[in-house]
Chains A and B, each alone.
Chain A
Amino acid sequence: MNMQQAIKMTAAETALVDAYTNQIGDLPGDGSVLSVRDTLVHELRTAGLPTRRVESWHYTDLRTLLRAVPAADPTAFADRVDALVPGSTVFSVRNGQVDLKGNLPEGVTVRSYVDSLLDGSATAGLAVLGFDDAIGRINGGLVRGGLEIAVAAETALEDPLEIQLVQSLGQAHTRFPVTFGANTKATVIERHLSTKDAESFVSSVSDVTLGEGADVIWIILQQQGSADTHLGQMRFDLGKNAKLHLFVINAGGKLVRQEIHGKTSGEGADFKLRGINLLGGESHTDVTFTLGHNVPHTTSTEIIRNVVFDRAKGVFQGKILVAKDAQKTDAKMACNTLLLSDDADLSAKPELEIFADDVQCGHGATVADIDHTQLFYLMARGVPENKARAMLVNAFVAEIVEELEDHEALVEALEEVISAWLDKHA
């Protein structure tokens, strides 16, 4: 591609570049941060949003799908909502504005991300992951809020930390570098909500580092409004014997791309991805995942369950890379889909790139309708067809949530989210 040749910008591209231009002088950052921002927005201006010709965006042509971007409204107000799990420590972020009030559990420290932009310590983290990292580029150019959270070594948190992002309208671009010290134990709920039907555009990047022996459950629960665009990215790095159990639940939004990019850096690291995509209406939801098994003796499993109604479209791309030295890697990826209407659509693209020779890796994808034998069995016991179908759809995703059985309140809350969604859409 000839980068010098100016493209004709789409309305959305123009709106994003304008959002930047209008805020020059106002966006937080020291000289180095501002220079990175400039570069990112320049790239956006010259290369444009990714199209289907960019391999990692093949099934989500962002340039075509993103028709417009609502202007930021600094006066917009959003309420905080109750924690998903009672007793959680809530970090409230409303329309991109961080609320630092509240008590912190012992061993947890927070700092406004704005301070890191202002003193330049955020600079390195603003780098994009590659030429195709449109989310990193948009977010890095426009980010103006977020939190740095650190959990001190040996801290075991009893109650979850909830990063609660509530959006009412307009734009928000946030970032959350989170570090877990050695042998920490924690549950984090990253929750994206909207309180109004008005259109909003949200980008959010979480950059998570797990030290040796850290054991973390991280839930990304996306329940934005039916007109919203959500661009999420999670980056993670797992140290020796660290365990990350990541749940991604999409139950909202109009145009959603959640990326997950991680690597294992210490032997014995274990990663689990569990995804539930509840898709309905005319929405487009993309979960794109890459994992680098970079050192020997690391394990991962990925299970994605998609339920697709109406004219919704879902995408799952999962790529596992096993480095040459990463012997004894054990990785398994599965993507199972229930297509519940003739117009529903799902594209799954699992990939393995293995450079080591002593590994166990596998992937599989299934697409099906409801199992008729199961449906008949339930009906033969007197359960009416609609209810029987709803039970089976629920069962298909409930299996994933059940893996959290040691966290009863969390399971209950997630089951509630799922059944409320199914009641509305099934």
Chain B
Amino acid sequence: MLEIKNLHARIAEDGTEIIRGLNLTVKAGEVAAIMGPNGSGKSTLSYILSGREDYEVTEGDILYNGESILELDASERAAKGIFLAFQYPVEIPGVATMQFLKVAMNEQRKYRGEDELTTPEFMRRVKEAAAELKIAPEMLRRPLNVGFSGGEKKRAEILQMSLLQPKLCVLDETDSGLDIDALKIVADGVNALRSPDRAVVVITHYQRLLDYIVPDSVHVLYKGQVIKSGDKTLAHELEANGYADIIEAAA
């Protein structure tokens, strides 16, 4: 489903190279964890996958279902089924959460040539998904992410994910700032979306989240490259020994 080939990318503004020859393949149905120390390029990778314009790809390619997505903007990638759950969901005062959800769902449907949702159908879906994630209706009446606690923001991200039903889900440090109860709710939400035709990329600094979202593969990112891949035991190894050994072995 996702194939990243020899990817090189830099910050558009100052030319700093962050991703330096990254290779990664994630199959449909797979949950891949990307781990790595601070500054290894994890978040940058998530932004590049979702089409943030602050980064430039200078070499290599990103294939999604066999097609390069480098020429697509963020909204087109989203409509094709790529979803980024933000590490820091953005507050947008003046945009009502419900209005935003409706526009996002319907714009994606329009792009794919599907009919827009009727209001009752939209309401039904939101109600159901919100209940699953224990999101109070009051929260949905506020402007988008405004005044949400850290945990509420992360749950709102997963709510969006479950409503938009993407094919490739990228979770950027979704565990940061969550207490254990919130972490479980969020992990349940992600696990509910696991399916043979959907891939999930979990970017995380700590192994903790992976106790709840058990990955099929684990990849260690360092200085913009995948320096080691393995199964879930690699995450435990990292938790016990830290990154130093692997970094040294790769050097």
Task: List the interface of chain A (C-beta within 8 A of B).
Answer: 372-374, 376-385, 387-388, 391-392, 394-399, 402
Name which residue of chain A comes closest to B91, CB basis: A374
Chain B residues closer than 8 Å to A392, beta-carbon distance: 92, 95
Interface size on B, residues (CB 8 A): 29
Name which residue of chain A comes closest to B74, CB basis: A379
Using known A-B contacts A394-B94, A399-B94, determine if residue A376 contacts B74 with beta carbons closer than 8 Å. Answer: yes
Chain A residues closer than 8 Å to B216, beta-carbon distance: none
Stretch from B102-110, B204-212, B218-226, B229-237 at the A interface: B102-110
- Residue of A379, A381, A385 near B164 (CB, 8 A) is A381
Chain A residues closer than 8 Å to B75, beta-carbon distance: 379-385, 388
Using known A-B contacts A373-B90, A381-B164, A382-B104, determine if residue A395 contacts B95 with beta carbons closer than 8 Å. Answer: yes
Docked CA distance A372–B51 (Å): 13
Docked CA distance A224–B4 (Å): 56
Asked if B79 is at the interface (CB within 8 A of a chain A CB), the reply is yes
Docked CA distance A395–B143 (Å): 10
Nearest-neighbour CB distance to chain B for A193, whole angstroms, equals 26
Name which residue of chain B comes closest to A397, CB basis: B94
Name which residue of chain A comes closest to B86, CB basis: A377
Task: List the interface of chain B (C-beta within 8 A of A).
Answer: 50-54, 73-75, 77-79, 83-84, 86, 89-90, 92-95, 100, 103-104, 107-108, 111, 143, 160, 164
Using known A-B contacts A376-B52, A377-B89, A388-B75, determine if residue A382 contacts B94 with beta carbons closer than 8 Å. Answer: no
Nearest-neighbour CB distance to chain A for B70, whole angstroms, equals 16
Chain A residues closer than 8 Å to B107, beta-carbon distance: 382-384, 387
Docked CA distance A376–B74 (Å): 7
* CB–CB B94/A385 < 8 A: no
Name which residue of chain B comes closest to A376, CB basis: B52
Name which residue of chain B comes closest to A373, CB basis: B90
* CB–CB B73/A385 < 8 A: yes
Using known A-B contacts A372-B54, A387-B107, determine if residue A379 contacts B93 with beta carbons closer than 8 Å. Answer: no
Docked CA distance A172–B84 (Å): 57
Docked CA distance A378–B94 (Å): 13
Docked CA distance A402–B108 (Å): 28
Docked CA distance A387–B107 (Å): 9
Max chain A Cβ within 10 angstroms of own Cβ: one of B50, B51, B86, B103: B103
* CB–CB B90/A377 < 8 A: yes
Docked CA distance A379–B73 (Å): 8
Docked CA distance A387–B100 (Å): 11
Chain A residues closer than 8 Å to B90, beta-carbon distance: 373-374, 376-377
Q: Nearest 5 A-B pairs (CB), nearest first? A: A395-B94, A382-B78, A379-B74, A382-B108, A377-B90
Name which residue of chain B comes closest to A388, CB basis: B75
* CB–CB B94/A380 < 8 A: no
Chain B residues closer than 8 Å to A373, beta-carbon distance: 90
Provide 17 A-B residue pairs closer than 8 Å at the C-beta atoms, listed in order of the A residue.
Answer: A376-B52, A376-B90, A377-B86, A377-B89, A377-B90, A378-B95, A379-B51, A379-B73, A381-B78, A381-B104, A381-B108, A381-B160, A382-B75, A382-B79, A382-B104, A384-B75, A395-B143
Chain A residues closer than 8 Å to B84, beta-carbon distance: 380
Docked CA distance A399–B78 (Å): 28
Chain B residues closer than 8 Å to A383, beta-carbon distance: 75, 103-104, 107
Nearest-neighbour CB distance to chain A for B183, whole angstroms, equals 23
Chain A residues closer than 8 Å to B108, beta-carbon distance: 381-382
Docked CA distance A388–B92 (Å): 12
Max chain A Cβ within 10 angstroms of own Cβ: one of B53, B77, B78: B78
Name which residue of chain A comes closest to B103, CB basis: A383
New A-B pairs, 10, CB < 8 Å, besides A381-B75, A396-B94? A373-B90, A377-B90, A378-B92, A378-B100, A379-B73, A380-B50, A391-B100, A394-B94, A395-B143, A398-B95
- Residue of A387, A388, A402 near B94 (CB, 8 A) is A402
* CB–CB A376/B78 < 8 A: no
Name which residue of chain B comes closest to A377, CB basis: B90
Chain B residues closer than 8 Å to A378, beta-carbon distance: 92, 95, 100, 104
- Residue of B83, B93, B100, B164 near A399 (CB, 8 A) is B93
Docked CA distance A392–B104 (Å): 14
Using known A-B contacts A384-B107, A387-B107, determine if residue A379 contacts B78 with beta carbons closer than 8 Å. Answer: yes
Using known A-B contacts A396-B94, A398-B94, determine if residue A382 contacts B51 with beta carbons closer than 8 Å. Answer: no
Chain A residues closer than 8 Å to B79, beta-carbon distance: 382
Max chain A Cβ within 10 angstroms of own Cβ: one of B50, B77, B90: B90
Docked CA distance A396–B103 (Å): 18
Name which residue of chain A comes closest to B161, CB basis: A381
Name which residue of chain B comes closest to A393, CB basis: B94
Max chain B Cβ within 10 angstroms of own Cβ: one of A374, A381, A391, A397: A381
Max chain A Cβ within 10 angstroms of own Cβ: one of B75, B77, B84, B164: B75
Name which residue of chain B comes closest to A396, CB basis: B94
Nearest-neighbour CB distance to chain B for A398, whole angstroms, equals 4
Chain A residues closer than 8 Å to B143, beta-carbon distance: 395
* CB–CB A380/B74 < 8 A: yes
Using known A-B contacts A381-B160, A382-B78, determine if residue A391 contacts B95 with beta carbons closer than 8 Å. Answer: yes
Using known A-B contacts A376-B52, A391-B95, determine if residue A382 contacts B164 with beta carbons closer than 8 Å. Answer: yes
Chain A residues closer than 8 Å to B74, beta-carbon distance: 376, 379-380
Docked CA distance A377–B103 (Å): 13
Chain B residues closer than 8 Å to A372, beta-carbon distance: 53-54
Nearest-neighbour CB distance to chain B for A246, whole angstroms, equals 21
Docked CA distance A385–B53 (Å): 12
Chain A residues closer than 8 Å to B89, beta-carbon distance: 377
Nearest-neighbour CB distance to chain A for B166, whole angstroms, equals 9
Name which residue of chain B comes closest to A398, CB basis: B94
* CB–CB A382/B111 < 8 A: yes
Using known A-B contacts A382-B111, A399-B93, determine if residue A376 contacts B53 with beta carbons closer than 8 Å. Answer: yes
Docked CA distance A380–B48 (Å): 11
Chain A residues closer than 8 Å to B78, beta-carbon distance: 379-382
Using known A-B contacts A382-B108, A394-B94, determine if residue A387 contacts B103 with beta carbons closer than 8 Å. Answer: yes
Chain A residues closer than 8 Å to B54, beta-carbon distance: 372
Nearest-neighbour CB distance to chain B for A278, whole angstroms, equals 15
